[in-house]
Chain A
Amino acid sequence: MQAYLEALRAALASLSAHRMRSFLTTLGILIGTGSVIAVVSLVQGFSASISDQFSDMGGSTLTLHAVNNNENFRTGRINYITFDDVDVLRYRVPGVQQVTPTMQINAAGVSYRGRTVSPSIIGTSSEFQVVQGRYVDQGRFIVPSDDRGRRRVVVLGSKVVEDLDMPANPVGEYIRIGSEWFKVVGVLEHRGEILGFSQDNFVVIPFEVGRAMSGNRSRPFMSISFNVADLTEVEAVRERVKRAVRLSRKLKPGQPDDFRVEAADSFVKQFEQVAGTATAVVAGVVSISLLVGGIGIMNIMLVSVTERTREIGILKALGATRRDILVQFLLEAGLLALLGGLIGIVLGYGAGVGVAALIPGFPPAQVPLWVVAAAAGFSALVGVVFGIMPASKAASLDPIEALRYE
């Protein structure tokens, strides 16, 4: 232990004797770890914020989508989720709790006092707020009697209120959707942007009103979200839903499903997978820069060994063993790389925070501690590995030759 402490002291002394050179040598490692940390901090920050936004919608929420491939669109045989499917889910599958169909409505736009904007228009039921975890900030949401009475009422996303330049409390105002007038009954909570896409640029009308607007014969794009009463039953309910929907659609055995039942958090899982892949790719690219950094360290260490040949000879004459010399030079290389790694971590985190702040709506950068530890450990490892060659060269110098070296 004492010997390692001495070697550490000696290594630090010789690094600080050539501060500029040490710094330049570490640049490769510095840039490598810096870029890893910058990218990882952005990806992690982003994925943390995504998970956060979707955490309201637990794993108990499932969504039924239609499945279409290019062939379907080319031939015009497009699969839809139908109003029958809504009824199947509502009345035929045990274990399903709340069902909320969501319909995209095509309308000419949303107008208020001469201003017109084009948010997405969603027709849905009162359960939407529970299932999707979006609640009102002012006024009220769609209620079941709105559906039954086909009331022309609308709940606005905060972006729409802003874009239409409506009063701070627009409840009670009237807007026009397409050619029909709607009374504003509520405004949804503000949610902000994900990657520059506003999460508040939509309006909600009662499902039956939407259905009426689309016309009885048309087939709007729809999806159906539903809750499962018992969390432990999610998989069983999913299977039951599949069976019931297949039956109502009269799919023959062997025919593939033309629909999909997805958990609401499956998007988060997919995203995390993508983020993980991105991180791995970046790590791969960056490990090349660490390799280059390591070669830089090896190069400088070799120069340093040649420069210090006489010093090594002196130390050997004074009783240093091969091992003493080896450990000192290995520590020097390791410390150089670790130093570069640590500076890189700090700068990379700074860069991540800076970039996240520069992009509007981008979530703040985050670096998990294990990434910091791994980056520091890996850079030190690179130093030690690339230090082996110079250090063993130093250790195996012949003391007589080394002392004579000018």
Chain B
Amino acid sequence: MISLRGISKHYQMGEEVVQALDGVDLDIGRNEYVALVGASGSGKSTLMNLIGCLDTPSSGQYLLNGRDTSTLSDVELAQVRNREIGFVFQSFHLLPRMTVLDNVAQPLVYRGIPRAERRQRASEALERVGLGNRLGHRPNQLSGGQRQRVAVARALVGEPSLLLADEPTGNLDSRTSAEIMGLFDQLHRQGQTVLLVTHEPDIAAHCERIVRVSDGRIVEDAANRNRRRETH
């Protein structure tokens, strides 16, 4: 589903050229549950941005569902983000002035789906993450864990190919983190492809496969043999 070949990315920082990624090859299949791990500055964020189509590579090829994204225009990239990728961010990134329901429905606005249907689908997505009773609340009326569930619902509402989570438990306490990871486990079991970006081994331990990035290269890519299974 995702296929990266020889992906490189460099930035101009003043006089210096920073090589953030250097010839990365990576394949992720449907319904995989992958952790992307690495220290800060390793290039994992850059890799995530590329996979999430927020950025384009300097060289190399990125096929998403067989489509080469390196040649897409801004508008087409926006459409890919809208349809194929569901983002979950560390600091939730909900829109503070909107209700939970409107937050979740927002991605559907850009598909031109009528309001009634958007609300219907958003409330279904919220139902899936266990927040069916919080539709009219505003983000600041919710706990951190609940906010992250809203963010997950928003990522899911467009039925994306890939759920892309960037340190999804970074701002949560350990009990809530476990809850959120339970939610990801569950979504994976339901057939969702999940890519987690994290630097916490505990979180990576939930995944089936761990890809380790260092200095802009993939240094390890293996199945997770000590996978932690939550008992529900």
> Which A residues lie at the B interface, using CB under 8 A?
2-3, 6, 13-14, 17, 310-311, 313-324, 399-400, 403
User: Whole-angstrom distance from the CB of B54 to the nearest CB of chain A?
Assistant: 5
Once the chains bind, are A321 and B97 in contact (CB under 8 Å)?
Answer: no
Contact present for B78 and A320 (CB under 8 Å): yes
Contact A318 B74 (CB under 8 A): no
The complex places the Cα of A324 from the Cα of B111 at a distance, in Å, of 11
Query: Is A322 a contact partner of B114 (Cβ separation < 8 A)?
Result: no
Given contacts A2-B112, A323-B75, contact A318 B107 (CB under 8 A): yes
Given the contacts A318-B82, A322-B75, A403 and B93 also touching, CB distance less than 8 Å: yes
18 CB contacts below 8 A, A to B, read A6-B109, A310-B93, A311-B95, A314-B95, A316-B54, A316-B78, A317-B52, A317-B93, A318-B81, A318-B106, A318-B107, A318-B154, A319-B82, A319-B83, A319-B110, A319-B111, A320-B78, A322-B75
Contact with A along B112-128 (1 / 0, CB 8 A): 10100000000000000
Given the known A-B contacts A318-B107, A321-B110, are A17 and B52 also in contact in the complex, defined by CB atoms under 8 Å? no
Complex Cα distance A320/B98, Å? 16
User: What chain B residues lie within 8 Å of A315 (beta carbons)?
Assistant: 95, 106
A321 touches B114 (CB 8 A): no
CB distance A3 to B112 under 8 Å? Answer: yes
Nearest-CB residue, chain B, relative to A6:
B109
B residues less than 8 Å from A313 (CB atoms): 93
CA distance A323 to B52 in the complex (A): 20
Specify the chain A residue showing the minimal Cβ separation from B96: A311
- Please state if A14 and B107 are interface contacts (CB–CB under 8 Å): no
Give the shortest distance, in Å, between B52 (CB) and chain A (any CB).
7
Chain B residues lying within 8 Å of A311, measured Cβ to Cβ, are 95
Interface centre among B49, B54, B55, B114 (most CB of A within 10 A): B54
A312 to chain B, nearest CB (A): 11
Question: What does the 1/0 interface line of B64-82 toward A look like (CB < 8 Å)?
Answer: 0000000000110011011
B33 at interface (Cβ–Cβ under 8 A)?
no
Q: Contacting A400 at CB < 8 Å: which of B54, B95, B98, B154?
A: B54
**Cβ contacts B87-100/A at 8 Å (1 or 0 each):** 10100011101100
Question: Interface size (B, Cβ < 8 Å)?
Answer: 27
Q: How far is the CA of A313 from the CA of B95 in the complex (A)?
A: 11
Minimal beta-carbon separation of B63 from chain A (angstroms): 20
Partner of B89, one of A3, A319, A324, A403: A403
Q: Are A399 and B54 in contact (CB under 8 A)?
A: yes
Q: Which residue of B lies closest to A406 (CB)?
A: B91
Distance A317 CA – B106 CA, assembled complex (angstroms): 11
What CA separation (Å) do A322 and B75 show in the bound complex? 7
Query: What's the least CB distance linking A89 to chain B, in Å?
Result: 78
The answer to whether A317 and B75 touch (CB under 8 A), given A13-B97, A311-B95, is no
CA distance A311 to B103 in the complex (A): 11
Q: How far is the CB of A217 from chain B (nearest CB, A)?
A: 91
Determine the chain A residues whose CB is within 8 A of the CB of B111 once the complex forms: 319
| Contacting residues, chain B, for A2 (C-beta < 8 A) | 112, 114
- Of chain B, the residue at the smallest CB distance from A325 is B78
Excluding A318-B82, A322-B75, 12 further A-B contacts by CB distance (< 8 Å) are A13-B97, A17-B97, A314-B93, A317-B52, A317-B54, A317-B81, A318-B154, A319-B81, A319-B83, A320-B110, A399-B54, A400-B55
* Contact A318-B87, Cβ < 8 Å, known A323-B75, A400-B54, A400-B55: yes
Q: Could you say which residues of chain A place their CB within 8 Å of the CB of B109?
A: 6
- By beta carbon, the residue of chain A nearest B93 is A314
A residues within 8 A CB of B89? 403
In the complex, chain B residues whose CB is within 8 Å of the CB of A318: 81-82, 87, 106-107, 110, 154
Identify the closest chain A residue to B114 (Cβ). A2
Q: A319 and B112: CB pair below 8 A?
A: no
Min Cβ gap B99→A in Å is 11
**Chain B residues whose CB sits within 8 angstroms of the CB of A322 once the complex forms:** 74-75, 78
Tell me, in angstroms, the Cα distance from A36 to B109 when the chains sit together.
40
Chain B, residue nearest A316 (CB): B78
Write out the residue numbers on chain A whose beta carbons fall within 8 Å of the beta carbon of B154.
318
Assess the B110–A324 pair: CB atoms within 8 A.
yes
Q: Which 4 A-B pairs have the closest CB atoms?
A: A319-B82, A319-B110, A321-B78, A318-B107
B79 adjacent to A13 (CB under 8 Å)? no
Q: Give the CA-CA distance A322 to B76 in the complex, in Å.
A: 11
Closest B-chain residue to A5, C-beta based?
B115
Chain B residues within 8 Å of A320, by CB = 78, 110
Contacts of B110 in A (CB 8 A): 318-321, 324
What residues of chain B lie closer than 8 Å to A14, measured between beta carbons?
97
Distance from A309 Cβ to chain B, minimum over Cβ atoms (Å): 12
A16 to B, closest residue via Cβ:
B97
Closest Cβ of chain A to B19, distance in Å, is 17
Give Cα distance in the complex from A103 to B55, angstroms: 91
- Chain B hits for A314, CB < 8 A: 93-95
- What's the Cα separation between A315 and B110 when bound, in Å? 9
Taking the nearest CB of chain A, how far is it from the CB of B38, in angstroms? 18
Q: Tell whether, in the assembled complex, residue B107 and residue A321 are in contact, meaning their CB atoms are under 8 Å apart.
A: no
Report the separation of the CA atoms of residues A322 and B79 in the bound assembly, to the nearest whole angstrom: 11
Which residue of chain A has its CB nearest to the CB of B92? A314
Question: How long is the Cα–Cα vector from A315 to B98 in the complex, in angstroms?
Answer: 13
